[in-house]
Amino acid sequence: MDEARVPATIPEAIRVAAQRFGDREVVVDGDVRMTYRQLLEHVRDMARVYLAHGVRRGDRIAVYSPNTHHWVVAALAVHYAGATLVPINTRFTGAEAVDLIRRSGATALVVAGEFLGVEPPAEIRTAAEPGDLDSLRLVVRVPVSGPLAPDPDAETSGAVVLDWPDLAAAAEPVTAESAEARADEVSGDDISDILFTSGTTGRSKGVLSTHGQAVDVAAAWADCGQVRPGDRYLVVNPFFHSFGYKAGILVGLLGGATLIPQATFDVAAVLEAIERERISVLPAAPTVFQTLLDHPGRQGTDLSSLRLAVTGAATVPVRLVERMGDELGFDTVLTAYGLTEAVVVTMCRPGDDPEVIAHTSGRATAGFEVRIGARGEILLRGPNVMRGYLDDPEATAKAVDADGWLHTGDVGTLDDAGNLTITDRLKDMYICGGFNVYPAEIEQELSGLDGVREVAVVGVADERLGEVGKAFVVADGVSESDVLEHCRRRLANYKRPRHVEFVAALPRNASGKVLKRLLAKEKVA
């Protein structure tokens, strides 16, 4: 194969990587050190497991597990089996996970047996209503936090339940040739994944992308960052997000890098991994780099291997960019802009001035055109715009107009060189600890709490997390603890408001719309 050609599908990318990079390490996860050739074998075997349990081409398979080698194998095997990957946020509650399983119609689920003191399989069963899990035929439990404990209620959903150590035997009914034949059937126009993202309506939307698009945007990202064989890529961004999955796993495959996944972010562990594994590539939110700079253990850590940092979406202070080079030792610091519906849209390039890197998100990449529309909204068009939202043609038509322009809901400007600067958001979304939070989803959830009449949520400044939620509530007979406990049971941690204020009425304009800009000016204390 011509190494300059981008593979047409993810299965092809896996095969090509095994040929090109062979015995190079592809994943280092604790005691597991897997080569590219071994990855292909593991992926093929996992695909055989899926096929043995009736997974058909185009079926959906959900993965609800943290960043480990299991996720890499399980997710890539979904593609090898001709199915569609549905990543689930590991911070989701059982109820939120059940919603995605039900709406996607997933026929298989790969799930952490235990993670951060929670047992997701049990949480899912507890949250599920009759019929919610009827589509599932297979559940695979992953031993993230030690050996898997017996689960006497494992098969109450009607699905076959397998534990990761037992997969070799489960693959035996299907030959390797059958798995290869299924991988051969995959085309670049097949849907590769459905990544769910919340919108301003408060209902999460499943973004449909194809194999060709997934590989194409990863290739563009790898090209901008000049990712190459020998790079060692510390993946702190979650695999369930496009930043960890497409700009992480797929970028590594295309560039020949070694992935060192982090199941949870711990600054001391990150510093130790940088020194031990000679990390050269570290993409992350700006807060991660600020945390590394502030940690006392940095001074005694060998950071000389660091080469490339990629961050963005949020404006990055010039001083932070300078310190990332001067004190963390990065040769190149790049900023970028993307969204689930397009993954990566703009990106800086090596050699750009620090002012450009800090104040803009770079220039168009991955075949995108970018322009500024009405009200300063950022519009983009190109071959890698999503295929649409799952089962939601109305939302798709709102997002992508008749001329193919995706309306992002973000506001920005373009300079003469084509560098994009994000100045505001049309949406109410705020960023908590690097995660996008959509107030409408929280408002919808709180509206179901008895006694709550009206609620509005806004992001307010927080020294540690950047922004956190503050809920303004009009209610009868409801306490602050009631609100917080309801959110604890129903929402992922980063979505939960940290502050609650009870008000007699919400400020509204003449048409009845809540004036959130007025609420955002309220002090937290």
Distance between CA atoms of residues 42 and 270, nearest Å? 27
The alpha helices in 172-285, defined as continuous H runs, are 176-185, 211-225, 242-244, 251-255, 267-277
What's the order of all strands across the beta sheet hosting 332-337?
A: 32-35, 25-29, 258-261, 232-235, 281-283, 308-312, 332-337, 346-347, 363-364
Domains and CATH numbers, the chain: 10-22+30-209 (3.40.50.12780), 265-425 (3.40.50.12780), 432-520 (3.30.300.30)
457-487: string of b/e by CB count within 10 Å (b at 16+)? Answer: bbbbebeebbbbbbbbbbbeebeeebbbebb
pLDDT value of residue 480: 96
Among 255, 286, 420, 284, residue whose Cα is nearest residue 352: 420
Among 67, 74, 27, 22, residue whose Cα is nearest residue 46: 74
Locus of tokens 């802009």 = 337
Helices (H) and strands (E) in the chain, counts: 18, 26
Helix (H, G, I), strand (E, B) or coil at 272: helix
Distance between CA atoms of residues 137 and 56, nearest Å? 12
Distance between CA atoms of residues 428 and 442, nearest Å? 12
Give the orientation angle of helix 36-52 with respect to helix 176-185, to 10 degrees.
90
Q: Which amino acid is at 470?
A: K
Handedness of CA 90, 95, 97, 99 (dihedral sign): negative
Dihedral of the alpha carbons of 46, 48, 54, 60, in degrees to the nearest 10:
40
Helix (H, G, I), strand (E, B) or coil at 212: helix
| pLDDT tens for each residue of the chain, 525 residues long | 345 689 999 999 999 999 999 999 999 999 999 999 999 999 999 999 999 999 999 999 999 999 999 999 999 999 999 999 999 999 899 999 999 999 999 999 999 998 988 899 999 999 999 999 999 999 999 999 878 887 777 665 689 999 999 999 999 999 999 999 999 999 999 999 999 985 434 578 999 999 999 999 999 999 999 999 999 999 999 999 999 999 999 999 999 999 999 999 899 999 999 999 999 999 998 878 988 998 999 999 999 999 999 987 555 667 788 889 999 999 999 999 999 999 999 999 999 988 898 889 999 999 999 999 998 899 999 999 999 999 999 999 999 999 999 999 888 899 999 999 887 666 677 889 988 887 878 887 898 899 998 888 999 989 889 999 999 999 999 999 999 999 999 999 999 999 999 999 888 754 456 788 788 776 544
CA distances from 256 to 11, 16, 259, 374 (A): 15, 10, 9, 42
Among 175, 204, 129, residue whose Cα is nearest residue 445: 204
Distance between CA atoms of residues 339 and 360, nearest Å? 16
Distance between CA atoms of residues 12 and 19, nearest Å? 11
pLDDT value of residue 2: 40
Q: Confirm if 452 and 300 have CB atoms less than 8 A apart.
A: no
pLDDT value of residue 487: 95
pLDDT value of residue 200: 39
Q: Partners of 281 in the beta sheet? A: 233, 308
Distance between CA atoms of residues 500 and 442, nearest Å? 13
Q: Confirm if 139 and 160 have CB atoms less than 8 A apart.
A: yes
Q: How many residues does the chain have?
A: 525
Helix (H, G, I), strand (E, B) or coil at 151: coil
pLDDT value of residue 197: 82
Distance between CA atoms of residues 254 and 223, nearest Å? 10
Handedness of CA 100, 439, 342, 252 (dihedral sign): negative
| pTM for this model (two decimals) | 0.85
pLDDT value of residue 511: 43
Q: Confirm if 493 and 91 have CB atoms less than 8 A apart.
A: yes
The alpha helices in 278-368, defined as continuous H runs, are 286-294, 318-326, 354-359
pLDDT value of residue 425: 65
Q: Confirm if 46 and 74 have CB atoms less than 8 A apart.
A: yes
Residues 6+ apart with CB under 8 A from 66: 90, 112, 115, 144, 238, 239, 263, 264
